[in-house]
Amino acid sequence: MKIVTVVGARPQFIKAATVSRAMAEQGDCVEVMIHTGQHFDANMSDVFFQELEIPKPAYSLGVGGGSHGQNTGRMIEAIEAVLIKECPDAVLVYGDTDSTLAGALAAAKLHVPIVHVEAGLRSFNRAMPEEINRKLTDHLSDLLLTPNQQGIQNLAQEGITGSHVINVGDVMFDAALYFGARADETSKILQTLSLAPKAYWLATVHRQENTDDPLRLQRIFDGLSRSPLKVVLPLHPRTRNRLADQGIVMPANILIVEPLGYIDMVMLEKHASLIVTDSGGVQKEAYFHRVPCLTLRDETEWLELIDMGWNRLASPLSDDFFSAFEQDYLPGTADGEPYGDGQAAGRVVQSLRLVSGQG
Ligand code: UDP
């Protein structure tokens, strides 16, 4: 079977790493990877292909830097040309970026079956570009692979039910287990940054609703300044630009570092005493490594984490926002496997055979 995979952004490289490895193990599966170019910096893209051993993309489209509409349009045009040339059995898309939607739209018009990994997530906030991308992709897809049971419920509410909707578990959990073990053996990031385990917070901020709203961004950094511990912040390029535009002064307790490779990121996650983030992936990774998490958003797609008490929302414009930074967060006691058993990638590959006619 021949699968075209479309990736373009950091979280997609991490998800694709586990599935690509599982595909390669099959022997009869050819993967042709398209990198749209949505994230293109060395530390937002190349490092993941190298350290996660992802096959080099067969096609690099170089689309990035434009508006959502410009990027999506240019990606559709370029992906369509690749699909016509490659004639795959299916197109595999991940998550909720412009690359996801572009891949799905290009495939749908050519009647190529679409497989969506991380289907069914909803924030119910249509102001998020990710919500539009994931919803439209789900409604175009022929096989919807959810990371959890919540995804199945969300899709059912939109009338999407049937044997083509499968909870395979979360490929990010597979990645956390596989590369988490490697981080312990190889990462030197704690020594490099002179950090003692559990003596720092780890923060990430990149979501458009936070970076592009000057008040939210200022309040987030005011909040982080209240941490009793050093805060390590691998700074996303968009956030770096907006901080400069807004003239926001960096609090003294925040240690800014360049975006990190996944292995070093996992190491920092494992040993943080608290993770503060607006990232979807990092919220879950906090749980995978059993670290409490404060989420800088008004809502989250990952409701299980809130229910289990490992994650708490800190909405940047809320009255009690700053007090969230002044409390002790101890590891929770609730335990469960809402994201599967770490074998999701294998199930994705088995499911691919359903749509490629080789089941
Ligand atoms: N990540 C990383 N280096 C960093 C920051 C994040 O490797 O400096 C990883 C993180 O561990 C997670 C993924 O990138 O696996 C999350 O990506 P991001 O926060 O950009 O996107 P989201 O998950 O919100 O879609």
Q: What is the pLDDT of residue 332?
A: 86
Point out the ligand 1 atom lying closest to the alpha carbon of residue 279.
Answer: 24
Residue nearest to atom 15 of ligand 1 (CA): 281
Ligand 1 centroid–CA 205 distance in Å is: 10
pLDDT score recorded for residue 311: 97
Q: Which atom belonging to ligand 1 lies closest to the Cα atom of 283? A: 23
Average pLDDT over residues 95-113: 98
Is residue 19 within 8 Å of residue 171, measured between CB atoms?
A: yes
Residues near ligand 1 (Cβ within 6 A): 10-11, 14, 204, 206, 234, 259-260, 262, 265, 279-282, 285
Which tens digit of pLDDT belongs to each residue from 197-254? 999 999 999 999 999 999 999 999 999 999 999 999 999 999 999 999 999 999 999 9
Above 80 in pLDDT, residue 291?
yes
- Cα 336 from Cα 309, distance rounded (Å): 12
Any idea which residues carry the catalytic annotation?
Answer: 206
The pick from 282, 289, 301 for probing ligand 1's pocket by mutation, whose C-beta has the most ligand atoms within 8 angstroms, reads 282
Q: How far apart are CA 261 and CA 174, in angstroms?
A: 17
Task: Tell me what pLDDT residue 359 has.
Answer: 59
Q: Which pLDDT band, with edges at 50, 70 and 90, does 263 fall under? A: very high
Predicted confidence band at 40 (pLDDT cuts at 50, 70, 90)? Answer: confident
Is the model's pLDDT at 357 over the cut of 80?
no
Mean pLDDT rounded to a whole number for the chain: 96
pTM for the full predicted model: 0.97
The beta-carbon contacts of 322-329 under 8 Å, at least 24 apart in sequence, are: 322/219, 322/222, 322/223, 322/226, 324/223, 324/294, 325/223, 325/224, 325/226, 325/227, 325/276, 325/294, 326/226, 329/273, 329/274, 329/292, 329/294
Looking at residue 358, its pLDDT comes to: 64
- Alpha carbons 204 and 11: distance in angstroms, whole number: 13
Ligand 1 centroid to 262 CA: how many Å? 8
Are 59 and 82 within 8 A, CB to CB? yes
Comparing CA positions, the residue from 358, 272, 289 lying closest to residue 3 is 358
pLDDT band at 317 (very low <50, low <70, confident <90, very high): very high
Ligand 1 centroid – CA 10 distance (Å)? 6
Report CA 314 to chain centroid distance, whole Å.
Answer: 20
Q: Which atom of ligand 1 is nearest to the CA of 257?
A: 8
**159 CA → ligand 1 middle, Å:** 31
